[in-house]
Chain A
Amino acid sequence: MIKRKQLTEHLSYTSMVLPLLILYFTFVIYPFFSTIFYSFTNYSNMRLFDYDFVGLKNYLDVFQTRDKVGAIANTVKYAVVITFFQTLFALPLAAALNSRLKTRNVLRSIFFFPAVLSPIVVGYLWSFLFSTSAYGPINNILISIGLPTINFFGDPGIALYSVIFTQLWQWTGWSMVIILANLQSIPEVYYEASKIDGANTVQNFFRITLPLLYPSINVLIVTGLVGGLKVYDIIVSTTRGGPFNATSTIIQAIINQAIGGGLYGLGAAFCVVFFIIVLLFTYLVMLIMKKWERAIS
């Protein structure tokens, strides 16, 4: 009797996990492994059923074509630069908003606001602001103060940095909010103690605040890098990868060439390469952050 009751309970508990397991398996686990499988085949929209194994050919293709290597380089550059500046700008902003300012909640909401928008909308907004046409307000300001116009999204030398700029505008407030939550958890006592010891603001920042901000900075760097490597939407709404592939990114190249062009095997190989890059970055960051953690504890 007791055994039967236990069994029904066990089955009941198990049935609660099944919907999640089935969906997760179908749309996350299985696609992941079949991507690895397809990456070694010439599966394409011309060979939906009669595809063959081609060994490492797709991987060689990824690393030997200039546009794909370029997309990898752009993506890595984008992720590193945006993570660095996003954290750098968010730190002083959060510190300033952690003061006893009456309007600090309003200010916090203002700086966070762009984070609730889609990068698609943000990208179109900035392509207008940066426009070189007669309407483009930023170039109009440059002209009116006697400077030459800048082709922000059209000049291959600066297009990627212009894209990064729009994303800094969008995400710095998000980073600031995360640091701010961390700052508010630091007990006032620490600062009172260091005041007695005669420490100044700069010493306070480097000796107390920064080490205690380890958790939030860790979050910002990991999510910033991984999110940066996934960059796609903002590219669609600003440069579409141009000019001359100067802003083409991994996901954008996969979608344009693999899904748009029907070269599924090649795309799968590029997906696997992307996965390895993400893993590598996560591992490196964890290594560096562990070192920092050990240094401060």
Chain B
Amino acid sequence: MNNSGFLRDNLKLRQILLGITLWAIAVVFMLPVYYLIVSTLKGAEEVTLYPFALPKTLNISKYITAWNKMSYPRAFFNTFTITSLSVLFSTLIASVAAYSIARHKSRFNKFVFFLVLSGIMIPGQVSLVSLYNIVRRLGLMDNILGLVVIYSGSSTVLPLFLIKNFISTTIPIELEEAAKIDGCSLYKTFFSIVFPLLRPIIATVIIITALGIWNDYLNPMLFLQSRKNATILLEINRNIGQFAVDWSGMFPMLVLGIAPLSLFYLFMQKYVISGVVAGAVKG
């Protein structure tokens, strides 16, 4: 009796020590982010003298300057438009194709699937130089919709796999057969019966694709030149590249830059983490 009570206490003690250690690591781990945020609210002198203290007064004037300098509303709108349209198109295109490949095993479909399968081995960066020239020749340069088209083509691979897998393994074919007997067209069957059942996998696909496109710097950098089309990351790079010495002006820009996704993460962390895991393990 006594002995097992001691063991339980010992186990509990170990749990507490583990908890304290992990929280200590977590605090040190998050210090850079904490430091970034408190520094934006302090004056330059306060930042140097009391780097880790909370700000004495809340001074948001630096945010207003940063907001204006990076034309934040426009940059946000551009990033949002590019991400949401690309996610919408690539998910639609991928799920329709995934349905066809899962249900209709024609030679053509097998070929398309094989083609996409082998394309997984090609990192997008390999084709940078010719992609750049193709985009220029198609007249899609410096065009937000052009970038949407590029993303819709290049970020359909993982969605196609995940959705095809999901349809083959979890959607019962009987529902579709019943609809077919009732005279539903293929598209109608897909959109009214199958698509609603895909919700869990579509959520995963949307999260992975949206994170990737929102945080992409390379494609906007190559394909959007004029300032009116700039995304948040392009604005950050442009402003900080210019005023690299003005640290105090740069911090609010970084905070404004990470704010949208951080808020999204705050509310959706469970889905973001499980989505990323599903995408990484099955991809």
A residues with a Cβ closer than 8 A to B are 9-10, 12-14, 16-17, 19-21, 23-24, 26-32, 34-35, 38, 93, 96-97, 99-103, 107-121, 124-126, 128-129, 131, 133-135, 137, 140, 169, 174, 177-178, 181, 215-216, 219, 223, 226, 229-230, 232-233, 236-237, 251, 254-255, 258-259, 264, 267-268, 271-272, 274-275, 278-279, 282
Interface residues of B in 150-192 (CB under 8 A from A): 150, 152-154, 156-157, 160, 185-187, 190
On chain A, the residues within 8 Å of B104 by CB distance are 9-10, 13
Spot the interface stretch: B59-67, B68-76, B274-282: B274-282
**Among the listed A108, A133, A134, A268, which residue makes an inter-chain contact with B273, where contact means beta carbons less than 8 Å apart?**
A108
Question: How far apart sit A113 and B101, CA to CA, in the bound complex (Å)?
Answer: 36
Question: Is B109's CB under 8 angstroms from A17's CB?
Answer: yes
Question: How far apart sit A31 and B123, CA to CA, in the bound complex (Å)?
Answer: 12
Is residue B206 contacting chain A, with contact meaning CB distance below 8 A?
A: no
On chain A, the residues within 8 Å of B281 by CB distance are 178, 181, 215-216, 219
Interface residues of B in 8-54 (CB under 8 A from A): 15, 18-19, 21-23, 25-26, 29-30, 32-33, 35-36, 44, 47-48, 51-52
Question: Is A107's CB under 8 angstroms from B127's CB?
Answer: no
- CB of A113 to closest CB in B, whole Å: 7
Known: A118-B257, A135-B247, A226-B123. A267 touches B128 (CB 8 A): yes
Residue of B32, B116, B281 contacting most chain A CB atoms (<10 Å): B32
Question: Is B187's CB under 8 angstroms from A129's CB?
Answer: no
**Among the listed B18, B119, B128, B214, which residue makes an inter-chain contact with A28, where contact means beta carbons less than 8 Å apart?**
B119
Question: Is B128's CB under 8 angstroms from A271's CB?
Answer: yes
Question: How far apart sit A31 and B219, CA to CA, in the bound complex (Å)?
Answer: 15
**Among the listed A169, A216, A271, A279, which residue makes an inter-chain contact with B129, where contact means beta carbons less than 8 Å apart?**
A271
Question: Is B29's CB under 8 angstroms from A169's CB?
Answer: yes
- CB of A277 to closest CB in B, whole Å: 10
Who on chain B is nearest to A251 by CB?
A: B125
Chain B, interface residues (CB within 8 Å), range: 35 or more
Given A17-B97, A268-B130: 6 more A-B contacts, CB < 8 Å: A21-B97, A21-B112, A101-B22, A103-B23, A109-B269, A124-B254
Is residue B236 contacting chain A, with contact meaning CB distance below 8 A?
A: yes
Q: Can you name 26 A-B residue pairings with CB atoms under 8 Å?
A: A12-B185, A12-B187, A16-B186, A17-B97, A20-B112, A20-B156, A23-B156, A24-B153, A27-B134, A27-B154, A28-B127, A31-B130, A35-B129, A38-B129, A99-B18, A111-B26, A116-B262, A120-B236, A124-B236, A135-B44, A140-B51, A177-B276, A251-B128, A255-B128, A274-B123, A278-B123
Question: Is A272's CB under 8 angstroms from B126's CB?
Answer: yes
Residue of B106, B149, B150, B186 contacting most chain A CB atoms (<10 Å): B186
Question: Is B186's CB under 8 angstroms from A9's CB?
Answer: yes
Is residue B88 contacting chain A, with contact meaning CB distance below 8 A?
A: no
